[in-house]
Amino acid sequence: LFQPSPNIIRLKESATLAVAAKARALKAAGKAVIDLGAGEPDFDTPAFIREAAAEAMVAGHTRYTATEGVLPLREAIAADANRIQVQGTPVTPAEVVVSNGSKQSLYNACVCCFGPGDEVLVPTPSWTSYYEMIELARAVSVPVFGDAANSLKVTAEQLAAAATPRTKGLMLNSPSNPTGAVYSREELSAIFTLAAERGWWVIADEIYLRIAYEGGAQSALEVAPTRDNLIIINGVAKAYAMTGWRIGWSIAPVALSKAMNAFQSHTTSNASSISQYAAVAAIARREEADVAVNAMVQSFRERRDAVVTALSAFPSVRYVHPAGAFYVYINVEGFRGAADPGAAFAAAVLDEYGVAVVPGGAFLTPGWVRASYATTQSVAVDGVTRIAQCLTA
């Protein structure tokens, strides 16, 4: 009886999940699979954060909270944002809305800023959910393709060329999922200046901000000439190894924050009260958190270095230089003459070499695959070596 409503008529199932399902089925059948498909840190949440959650539960923080999140958490988020040299006035808790993961904040922002007739520029390749969220908001996602010579990043000129009078906003993700590329301060500055001139919203997804290996990654807060058109998205998932806790947030102008809060109040209400107090510990107990985060980033860095060394043994294999996040994006154009080389390669490398990767078609670039090194160093090295062998066989 079910007929999809016009709201979801164009909704596609996540391609990332399809590969994961196949890898799981092979594992269940007893086959050894090297899983480089994961999009989450392999570390446990630091102990002091888990203890803070247990304490919150015992202390009775088990009821509904304000939709926008408890004040101590919004204060901690604002204080954390103000650790860097913020342009203009400091961030205040009134600009912060806490949600059930940065994914929800991204969706809140898309629904509240964009609607029918609006176009939203999406530097591509990009995380698969951006396109779907924009379409769910009944706006149009406009992919803007980056050049391989520029680590698949887009330039302000490319964005300007893709714009029309209907352009309403822009998604920006640095460090990037799926490429691991990091935008420089100059690149960001040019893009934010263009967006401010044109009056576009910029949704800056900074979920991987702390996971950057070469001098760090710049936040929009320190680069953008104004915050009037800026929505910062972040969360605890990747930096603090807290994917399951589901805490994200937006930092946006107060009027927009109120709208996002109203929207969230009718869809999910507040994020888990216990997770919110765990997040307070993660963000406010800076010294302990910095020790834990730095150790995880150092470990990612060592794996990144090992992966790059392993790939360098195969000079014909091209990939985006992985400067942040925990992904390496590998070119598979021309693989066995397939129409969708990324999908063909992902299937072949799983069947023949026992390695699970995500086909680049999920990120609108079918000539590539994404491998995650959020796994032990030996597994990551073994995995990318097999990928290179499959590519060069």
Binding site for ligand PLP (CB under 6 A): 39, 101-103, 127, 173, 177, 205, 207, 235, 237, 243, 248
How far apart are the C-alpha atoms of 132 and 173, rounded to whole Å?
Answer: 16
Q: From the CB of 363, what's the least distance to ligand PLP, in Å?
A: 10
Q: Nearer to ligand PLP by C-beta: 108 or 177?
A: 177
Q: Nearer to ligand PLP by C-beta: 335 or 373?
A: 373
Residue of 145, 231, 219, 156 lying closest to 182 (CA atoms): 219
Q: From the CB of 71, what's the least distance to ligand PLP, in Å?
A: 21
Q: Nearer to ligand PLP by C-beta: 192 or 240?
A: 240
How far apart are the C-alpha atoms of 87 and 196, rounded to whole Å?
Answer: 14
Q: At a CB cut-off of 8 Å and minimum separation 6, what does 112 contact?
A: 256, 259, 260, 263
Q: From the CB of 62, what's the least distance to ligand PLP, in Å?
A: 22
Q: From the CB of 100, what's the least distance to ligand PLP, in Å?
A: 8
Q: Nearer to ligand PLP by C-beta: 238 or 386?
A: 238
Q: Nearer to ligand PLP by C-beta: 187 or 382?
A: 187
Q: From the CB of 237, what's the least distance to ligand PLP, in Å?
A: 4
Q: From the CB of 327, what's the least distance to ligand PLP, in Å?
A: 9
Q: Structure tokens of 47? A: 């102990």
Q: At a CB cut-off of 8 Å and minimum separation 6, what does 46 contact?
A: 240, 241, 282, 288, 289, 292
Residue of 46, 124, 25, 125 lying closest to 283 (CA atoms): 46
Q: Nearer to ligand PLP by C-beta: 103 or 386?
A: 103
Residue of 242, 249, 251 lying closest to 281 (CA atoms): 242
Question: Nearest-CB residue to ligand PLP?
Answer: 101
Number of H helices, E strands in the chain: 13, 12
How far apart are the C-alpha atoms of 197 and 380, rounded to whole Å?
Answer: 43
Q: Nearer to ligand PLP by C-beta: 36 or 390?
A: 36
Q: Structure tokens of 62? A: 């088990």
What does the CA dihedral 181, 182, 183, 186 come to, rounded to 10 degrees?
Answer: -130
Q: From the CB of 205, what's the least distance to ligand PLP, in Å?
A: 5
Q: At a CB cut-off of 8 Å and minimum separation 6, what does 296 contact?
A: 41, 43, 239, 241
Q: From the CB of 387, what's the least distance to ligand PLP, in Å?
A: 20
Q: From the CB of 101, what's the least distance to ligand PLP, in Å?
A: 3
* Alpha-carbon distances of 43 from 242, 257, 373, 379, rounded to whole Å: 9, 32, 12, 15
| DSSP one-letter code for 321 | -
Q: Nearer to ligand PLP by C-beta: 358 or 380?
A: 358
How far apart are the C-alpha atoms of 367 and 145, rounded to whole Å?
Answer: 13
Q: Nearer to ligand PLP by C-beta: 202 or 390?
A: 202
How far apart are the C-alpha atoms of 178 and 320, rounded to whole Å?
Answer: 10
How far apart are the C-alpha atoms of 300 and 238, rounded to whole Å?
Answer: 12
